[in-house]
C-alpha cells in the first residue's frame, strides 16, 4: 500500500492511497466462498452452491461491500502510518480502475495544536445552592396546581381563573376566521394568549364581549396576520375557578408515598429536588468550564469545515423543533449559528485533547447512571433502558456526552474555583 499526504491550508489534509488490486480480489473471493457455504438457492443443496453461481447472482453486491470495507480498513492503516487524527467526516473519492489498482483520496481536517493546557491555571466560578423548606413548599403548591379541578362560576373572571374564549380578528377589512369563531381556553395570567386579550378577560363574565387591538408577530402561523395589528373581538363563553386539593393522606399517597404522612412526603419531595439541583449545578459548572476553556484558546485556529457542519446541525435541530411545535419550516439558515458552532467545536476539541493527554477513559458506571436518570422520567423506565442498550447510535451519543461531562468534571476539580452561592430557583433556570 502506498500513501502520500498533502496539506491544504493549516488544518486541511488530502490523503492519497493506492492498494494493489489483488488485495481487493482476495477479499471478494473470500466473501464469495463464504457465501457459497451459507446461501440457499433453489436447485442446490445448502453449502453446495458453486462459487460461479454465487458470483453471477451476488457478485456486484459482494464487490461493492468488499470495496467499501477495504477503503475503511486501509484508510485507518494510512492514518496510523502518517500519525494523523481527523476531526469530522472525511470526504473520500475513488480514482482510477479498481481492476488494476484501488486508488482513492480522502480529504479531511485535523485538530489544531493547542500547546500547553494547564487546567490548574483556569479560574472558574462554581455554583452552589441547596434545597430550602420554602422550595419544598413551592413544589408541593405546584403539585396541587397540577391536580386542580375547575368549577364553573357566574361571576366576572379574575387572575387564576380558567376562561373559555371565542375570538375573531379583523385586519385590512378581512375577517379571520372567515366563518365562525376561533375557540380556545386560557388561565388568566398564564401567558397562553396575547397579553392584550388576557388583560381584557379580567372582569368579563360569561357572555361578555370586548374588542382589543393585538399586534401579531412577524412569524405568526397565519401569514395574512403576521406582522400586522388587528382588531380582535373577544367573548368569554365560560368562566371557571380553580379548586385545589388538600394535602391530605389521599393526595400524598397518589404520589407513591405509601404512609400518606406529610413528613415522608416532604422528604420525598426534598430528595427529588436535590437530585434535580445536583444535575442543574453540574450543568452550570460544565458550561462555565467550557466557556473558560474556549476563551483561553481563542487564538487557536479551528477547522472551518467542522464549524460549518456543526452550524448546519444546529440549524437542522432548530428546524425540527419548530416543526414539532406545528410551524411550517423547510430549512433554517445556518449562518446565525456560526458563533455558537465555533464555541461548541472549540470546547469539544479541547476537552478531547485533555482526555487524550491525561489518558481519561469512559466510566461505565456513569453511563449506567445517565441511562437510569433518563429512564426515571418515563412511565416505563425499563423500556427506555432497553432502547438505549439495543440502539448503538443512541448509546454512542450518550457515551460521548457522558465522556465530555466526565472530562469537564475532571478539569473543574483541578481548576481554581470560587464558590458562588445562588438560590435554588436561580440554579434551576435553563439559561445557564
What is the distance between the alpha carbons of residues 2 and 85, in angstroms, rounded to a whole number? 19
Give the tens place of pLDDT for each residue, 11-53. Answer: 999 999 998 888 888 888 888 787 777 777 776 766 667 777 7
pLDDT score for 323: 83
Number of other residues whose CB lies within 10 A of the CB of residue 371: 20
Residues 321 and 388 in one domain: yes
Asked if pLDDT for residue 432 goes beyond 50, the answer is no
Residue 288 has pLDDT above 90, yes or no: yes
pLDDT at 157 over 90: yes
Let me know if residue 388 belongs to a domain.
Answer: yes
Residue 98 clears pLDDT 60, i.e. is over it: no
Kindly state whether residue 196 falls inside one of the protein's structural domains.
yes
Q: Judge whether residue 57 has pLDDT over 90.
A: no
Q: Closest by alpha carbon to 364, among 398, 412, 413?
A: 398
On the question of pLDDT at 359 being above 90, the answer is yes
Count structural domains, the chain.
Answer: 3
pLDDT at 398 over 70: yes
pLDDT given for residue 414 in this prediction: 93
> Does any domain span residue 294?
yes
Angle formed at CA 401 by CA 397 and CA 403, multiple of 5 degrees: 115
**What average pLDDT score do residues 164-181 get?**
92
pLDDT at position 51: 72
pLDDT digits (tens, 9 = 90+) for 139-151: 999 999 999 999 9
- Distant-in-sequence, close-in-space partners of 17: CB < 8 Å, separation ≥ 6: 1, 2, 3, 74, 75, 78, 103, 104, 105, 106
For the cut 50, the answer to whether the pLDDT of residue 232 exceeds it is yes
Residue 237 belongs to domain with CATH number:
3.10.50.40
Last residue of some domain: 216, 243, 270?
Answer: 243
105 and 178 part of one domain: no
- 332 inside domain: yes
133 grid coordinates: 423548606
Confidence of residue 97 (pLDDT cuts 50, 70, 90): low
CB 316 within 8 A of CB 78: no
pLDDT at 418: 93
Whether 341 and 396 map to the same domain: the answer is yes
Look up the CATH number of the domain holding residue 384.
1.10.3120
Residue 139 to residue 310: CA distance in whole angstroms: 38
- Decide if 350 is inside a domain: yes
Do residues 296 and 410 share a domain? yes
Residue 415's nearest CA partner among 237, 254, 260, 292 is 292
pLDDT value, residue 380: 85
Q: Say yes or no: 412 and 287 in one domain.
A: yes
Mapping DSSP onto H, E and C, the string for 173-226 reads CEEECCCCCEEEEEECCCCCCCHHHHHHHCCCCCCCEEEEEEECCCCCCCCCCC
Residues 55 and 128 in one domain: no
Query: What is the domain-level CATH number for residue 6?
Result: 3.30.70.1050
- My answer on whether 333 and 234 are in the same domain is no
Beta carbons within 8 Å of 337's beta carbon, 6+ residues apart: 310, 311, 314, 315, 318
Residue 99 has pLDDT above 70, yes or no: no
Q: Among residues 194, 217, 243, which one ends one of the domains?
A: 243
Distance CA 42, CA 31 (A): 20
Of the given ranges (263-267, 379-383, 385-389), which has the lowest mean pLDDT?
379-383
Instruction: Please say whether the beta carbons of 17 and 3 come within 8 A.
Output: yes
Give 179: exposed, middle or buried? Use CB within 10 Å, 0-12, 13-18, 19+: exposed
Pair (402, 259) in one structural domain: yes
Stretch 76-82: mean pLDDT, rounded?
Answer: 92
Question: What nine digits make up the cell of 145?
Answer: 396546581
Asked if 230 contacts 150 with a C-beta cutoff of 8 angstroms, the reply is no
Task: Give me the domain span that covers residue 25.
Answer: 2-110
In a domain, 356, yes or no: yes
Does residue 138 fall inside a structural domain? no
144 domain residue, yes or no:
no
User: What's the residue count for the chain?
Assistant: 432
Question: What is the three-state SS of the chain?
Answer: CEEEEEEECCCEEEEEEEEEHHHHHHHHHHHHHHHHHHCCCCCCCCCCCCHHHHHHHHHHHHHHHHHHHHHHHHHHHHHHHHCCCEEEEEEEEEECCCCCEEEEEEEEEECCCCCCCCHHHCEEEEEECCCCHHHHHHHHHHHHHHCCEEEEECCCCCCCCEEEEEEEEEECCEEECCCCCEEEEEECCCCCCCHHHHHHHCCCCCCCEEEEEEECCCCCCCCCCCCCEEEEEEEEEEEEEEECCCCCHHHHHCCCCCCCCHHHHHHHHHHHHHHHHHHHHHHHHHHHHHHHHHHHCCCCCCCHHHHHHHHHHHHHHHHHHHHHCCCCCCCCCCHHHHHHHHHHHHHHHHHHHHHHHCCCCCCHHHHHHHHHHHHCCCCCHHHHHHHHHHCHHHHHHHHHHHHHHHHHHHHHHHCEEEEEECCHHHHHCCCC
Tell me what the pLDDT averaged over the chain comes to.
Answer: 89
- Which has the minimum average pLDDT: 55-69, 237-251, 302-316? 55-69
Residue 155 neighbours by CB under 8 Å, 6+ apart: 205, 239
CA dist., res. 104 & res. 245, Å (int): 71
* Strand 174-176, strand 416-421: pairing: unpaired
Cell of 222: 397565519
For residues 17, 22, 24, 29, the Cα torsion angle rounded to the nearest 10 degrees is -170
For residues 30 and 251, the model is more confident at 251
Q: Note whether 204 and 291 are same-domain residues.
A: no
Q: How many CB atoms lie under 10 A from the CB of residue 71?
A: 18
| pLDDT grade for 429, boundaries at 50, 70 and 90 | confident
Query: Domain boundary at 243, 262, 280, which?
Result: 243
pLDDT, residue 130, reads: 96
Both 155 and 233 in one domain: the answer is: yes
* pLDDT at res. 48: 67
- Whether 53 and 155 map to the same domain: the answer is no
Same domain, 21 and 69: yes
pLDDT tens profile 321-353: 888 877 777 788 899 999 999 999 999 999 999
Amino acid at each position: 500500500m502506498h500513501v502520500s499526504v498533502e496539506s491544504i491550508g493549516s488544518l486541511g489534509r488530502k490523503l492519497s492511497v493506492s492498494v494493489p488490486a489483488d488485495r481487493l480480489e482476495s477479499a471478494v473471493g473470500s466473501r464469495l466462498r463464504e457465501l457459497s457455504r451459507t446461501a440457499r438457492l433453489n436447485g442446490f443443496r445448502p453449502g453446495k452452491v458453486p462459487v460461479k453461481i454465487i458470483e453471477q447472482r451476488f457478485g456486484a453486491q459482494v464487490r461493492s461491500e468488499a470495496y467499501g470495507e477495504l477503503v475503511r480498513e486501509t484508510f485507518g492503516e494510512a492514518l496510523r502510518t502518517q500519525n494523523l487524527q481527523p476531526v469530522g467526516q472525511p470526504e473520500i473519492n475513488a480514482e482510477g480502475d479498481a481492476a488494476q489498482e484501488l486508488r482513492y483520496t480522502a480529504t479531511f481536517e485535523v485538530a489544531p495544536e493547542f500547546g500547553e493546557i494547564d487546567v490548574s491555571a483556569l479560574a472558574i466560578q462554581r455554583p452552589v445552592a441547596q434545597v430550602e423548606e420554602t422550595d419544598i413548599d413551592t413544589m408541593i403548591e405546584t403539585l396541587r396546581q397540577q391536580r386542580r379541578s375547575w368549577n364553573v362560576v357566574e361571576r366576572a373572571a379574575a387572575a387564576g381563573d380558567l376562561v373559555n374564549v371565542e375570538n375573531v380578528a379583523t385586519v385590512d377589512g378581512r375577517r379571520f376566521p372567515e366563518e365562525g369563531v376561533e375557540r380556545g381556553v386560557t388561565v388568566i395570567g398564564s401567558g397562553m394568549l396575547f397579553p392584550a386579550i388576557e388583560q381584557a378577560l379580567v372582569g368579563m363574565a360569561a357572555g361578555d364581549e370586548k374588542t382589543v387591538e393585538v399586534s401579531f408577530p412577524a412569524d405568526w402561523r397565519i401569514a395574512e396576520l403576521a406582522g400586522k395589528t388587528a382588531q380582535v373581538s373577544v367573548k368569554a363563553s365560560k368562566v371557571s375557578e380553580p379548586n385545589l386539593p388538600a394535602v391530605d393522606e389521599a393526595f400524598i399517597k397518589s404520589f407513591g408515598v405509601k404512609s400518606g404522612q406529610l413528613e415522608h412526603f416532604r422528604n420525598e419531595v426534598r430528595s427529588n429536588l436535590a437530585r434535580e439541583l445536583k444535575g442543574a449545578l453540574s450543568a452550570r459548572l460544565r458550561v462555565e468550564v467550557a466557556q473558560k476553556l474556549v476563551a483561553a484558546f481563542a487564538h487557536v485556529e479551528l477547522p472551518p469545515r467542522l464549524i460549518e457542519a456543526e452550524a448546519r446541525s444546529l440549524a437542522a435541530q432548530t428546524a425540527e423543533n419548530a416543526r414539532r411545535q406545528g410551524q411550517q419550516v423547510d430549512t433554517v439558515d445556518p449562518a446565525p449559528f456560526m458563533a455558537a458552532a465555533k464555541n461548541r467545536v472549540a470546547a469539544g476539541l479541547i476537552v478531547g485533547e485533555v482526555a487524550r493527554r491525561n489518558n481519561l477513559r469512559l466510566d461505565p458506571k456513569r453511563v449506567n447512571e445517565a441511562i437510569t436518570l433518563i429512564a426515571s422520567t418515563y412511565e416505563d423506565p425499563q423500556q427506555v433502558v432497553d432502547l438505549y442498550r439495543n440502539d448503538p447510535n443512541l448509546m454512542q451519543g450518550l457515551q460521548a456526552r457522558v465522556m465530555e461531562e466526565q472530562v469537564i468534571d475532571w478539569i473543574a476539580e483541578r481548576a481554581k474555583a470560587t464558590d458562588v452561592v445562588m438560590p435554588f430557583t436561580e440554579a434551576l433556570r435553563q439559561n445557564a
